[in-house]
Structure 1
Amino acid sequence: MSFAIVAEPLLGVYKGHVGSGQLDPLPSPARLHTALVCAAAQGVRAVADGDGLRPCDADRDALRWLEANPPDGIAVPETLHNGGAATAYRKEGLVVKEGRNPLSEKLVGKPAVSGVAVSGRFAWTWEQAPPEPVAAALGALCPEVPYLGTSESPVRLAVAAADPTHHLDREADLFTGDGLDLAVATAGRVDALEAAHRDTSVVPPLRADVHRSSEKTTAHPVVTTGLALGRYARPEPPPPPTPWTSVLLFQVDRPIPPERRVRYAVAVHRALVGLVGDGAPAILTGAYQPGVPRPSNRVAIQFIGPDAPHVGGTALALLLPRDASDVDLTLIRMAVQRLRHVKVAAGPFRVEARMEIPADAFWPVPAAGAERWWQTEPVAVPDSRPPRGGRWSLADAAALSVALVWRDEITASGRGDVRYRALAAAAAGRGVRVESAVRVMDGDVGRYVHKVNPETVIQPYRAVLTLGDLTGPRTIAAIGQSRHLGGGLLVPRDLPSDIVRRLAR
């Protein structure tokens, strides 16, 4: 657990202002530092300095450690600005002239400091604990801080455990990117605050206190020496898990027509199983013993191109599933190294191993000003017959196929048709959206599947869809009944953002 200073607003409200009176949404590291300086200079740990007080040496060392070590992270609870523009009136004992008669009881109106409702605690965290004397001094100083911001927001400050919600980005460009730009104390801040305090503590000369026909309060100048901006940003979310973790890419010596890809993928599959020999893993063969749980996905064989310049034209892609063991992957990679020729009735073709690519970095990045959608290539085939008990479309079948590929990330209750409908609905809840799904009826539709139940009606379709938050824009995947053998490959289609917004409406 990292070292942290935690602030608990006792009234559930934080009040503070910055600049010329604007609302301060949260206490910055610099405000924490200033509060500790005030406690060190005027609290029970302060030592005599002539007619005044100053921080003791141990506290000054701790404060200067804070200057050299800004917090590595901050914890920000949920907040809500709970006030608008308001004016506070009070008597300040000033002489205010209105017309010919000066008035000393005039009510003076000033903008009231609105507050921020807080649902938890603020915290400032350091990945490395400070030296023991510094930690001891900070632990003793924290209880001496009565409030952060204005005196209307009392606080309980302590050294305690906390986890940050935002981390300091030391390489941040403050003109771009997202995050919280907060003031942090730097070298010289303690000295500047002590010097400013000495200047304001000097008794002014009598001539500065002469009578005036109209008076007003004068705020002390804001000390900006020893301040810098730090960018605190939320950590990037972990990349979504991919159904297949990596891709073994092969160069193919001739284009593979889309309508023959399932047949050619079956030939590659047989060749690989033969190269592995006895004991070929089920993750490759697809043959599992009775009672053995089946993973969401197996080794998939797909053809890319020829309109894919990033892979050099037509290529064979062997997708390795996330659920495969290291032993199974080793056997498959050893067999791949010996794969040279693939026999097929239409004529053998040569393959040449090229490289292994992470599955989540396979496709090129989306075009500028566009959003990534996906198109099934050559077609996708539904994984099941339409469930009974209500309306069911090809778009629903596509959403179900997506859910079955990512079923480790999508949960649904029920069995049979009830579960299928629940899975399709859960996929939609993750942002899966099928913009179009059109049935393909161009001759022998059986060429788009390898094995199918004789009673099942084959309904190949082409679809354009988005995968929501299930995966990144560069991940290779396939859906549908033939996803492991040449069908249902999702190829990127980048649509201009303005068109996507119109489609959403």
Structure 2
Amino acid sequence: MWAVALHRFLVKEWGIDPSPALVGKYAPGIARPANNVSIQIIDADFKQRYSQQIRDDVVKLNPGFLILIPSDMSKGDIGKLRDVCAGAEGKSLYYAPEKSTLRIGKVTTVDAEHFWKPVAPGMCRYWAVRPMAIAETRPIPDIKLHRKWGVYEALCLSIGHVWRSQYPQSSEGSREERYWNIVDAVSAKTSHFRIYNYRTVHRANMTDYVHRANGSNILHGMNALIAISDAGESLDCAAMAIGQSRHLGGGFLVPADFSVSVCQSDDDFEKGIPTWLK
């Protein structure tokens, strides 16, 4: 909720013509990028739990919001967003009447590509999802190959949406067919991703974990162990998020480090696979 509150605040403070990367709305004919501005919450509980993995200079900061900037956001819009954030210092933030408020503090620039400490020698980094990833679509049956859509397929789609540029894009076929093409690409042996121990996650009030959803859809929460290969550009220290609510406080990837001694080699994936998942 606080991520949604900050998003609304930033849009209001921006004024006329806020950046498409902030509001997620693009003019007709403009190619929609894979990612928009993402807001994650780094509160005291989060910092305490991951204090050994978060970079030291970040741990020393007060609890706050982590605003992730997409790589293709224009320099002008990045500068404007920085000014908006700087101008918000000392102002109050609230998400509902008669609820507590937050006072916005000083802006600090953090290198999101190095948010986490490097993997310790002899360890291998996988990722878990905090608090969960929300599925981005209803289950989609594969009519041609008679495949069923489950948690694994939903996670593949979420990963494919974030790293869309890695996969060929085609406007041919139905939306359902294009989604299955993404699933096939992410799950291929040559893919830079591996997904294990995938499972459904339920909470008492699932609407707290989404920004916007069709009233007819059933909300599906998911978690898993996810490995990302280096592929020439390591993401082992990067702040990343997946899923329907990745832009507003959900689907944040947190480190799950294992000793390489428990990882079985895999010819198709250099990080190997933890033996209990093989």
TM-score (norm. length: structure 2): 0.81
Cα deviation for residue 439 of structure 1 reads: 1.4
Deviation sequence 1:167-191 (CA, Å, 0-9, x none) = xxxxxxxxxxxxxxxxxxxxxxxxx
Q: Which amino acid aligns with 1:280?
A: P
Q: 1:343 aligns with which of 94, 99, 105?
A: 94
1:427 aligns with 2:176: no
Runs (4+) of structure 1 exceeding 4 A deviation are none
Deviation sequence 1:440-484 (CA, Å, 0-9, x none) = 222111111111122222101222211224642111110010000
Q: Which amino acid aligns with 2:130?
A: E
In the alignment, the residues of structure 2 paired with residue 360 and residue 500 of structure 1 have an alpha-carbon distance, to the nearest angstrom, of 25
Q: Which amino acid aligns with 1:367?
A: A
Name 2:223's counterpart in structure 1. 462
Deviation sequence 1:244-280 (CA, Å, 0-9, x none) = xxxxxxxxxxxxxxxxxxx110000011111111121
Q: 2:164 aligns with which of 395, 407, 411?
A: 407
Q: 2:135 aligns with which of 356, 370, 382?
A: 382
- Which structure features the higher share of strand residues? 1
Name 1:274's counterpart in structure 2. 12
1:449 aligns with 2:210: yes
Gaps spanning 5+ residues in structure 2: where? Answer: 265-274
Name 1:492's counterpart in structure 2. 255
Cα deviation for residue 504 of structure 1 reads: 6.0
Length, aligned pairs only: 243
Map 1:159-238; keep pairs closer than 5 Å. none
Cα deviation for residue 358 of structure 1 reads: 2.4
Deviation sequence 1:383-407 (CA, Å, 0-9, x none) = 2222222122212211211111010
Name 1:472's counterpart in structure 2. 235
Deviation sequence 1:41-75 (CA, Å, 0-9, x none) = xxxxxxxxxxxxxxxxxxxxxxxxxxxxxxxxxxx
Q: Secondary structure of 1:352's partner?
A: coil
Contact 2:206 2:219 in 1 (8 A): yes
Q: 1:322 aligns with which of 68, 71, 80?
A: 71
Contact 2:125 2:236 in 1 (8 A): yes
Deviation sequence 1:277-298 (CA, Å, 0-9, x none) = 1121111111223333211101
Counterparts in 2 of 1:321 and 1:386: CA distance versus 1, 3 Å: same
In the alignment, the residues of structure 1 paired with residue 10 and residue 238 of structure 2 have an alpha-carbon distance, to the nearest angstrom, of 24
In the alignment, the residues of structure 2 paired with residue 368 and residue 342 of structure 1 have an alpha-carbon distance, to the nearest angstrom, of 42
In the alignment, the residues of structure 2 paired with residue 487 and residue 461 of structure 1 have an alpha-carbon distance, to the nearest angstrom, of 11
Q: 2:110 aligns with which of 357, 375, 395?
A: 357
The higher-RCO structure (CA 8 Å, 6+ apart) is: 2
Contact 2:131 2:251 in 1 (8 A): yes
Cα deviation for residue 503 of structure 1 reads: 4.0
Gaps spanning 5+ residues in structure 1: where? Answer: 1-262
TM-score (norm. length: structure 1): 0.46
In the alignment, the residues of structure 2 paired with residue 367 and residue 315 of structure 1 have an alpha-carbon distance, to the nearest angstrom, of 27
Q: Secondary structure of 1:493's partner?
A: strand
Counterparts in 2 of 1:412 and 1:287: CA distance versus 1, 3 Å: closer
In the alignment, the residues of structure 1 paired with residue 80 and residue 158 of structure 2 have an alpha-carbon distance, to the nearest angstrom, of 29
Q: State the Cα RMSD in Å.
A: 1.8
Give identity over the alignment, percent. Answer: 30
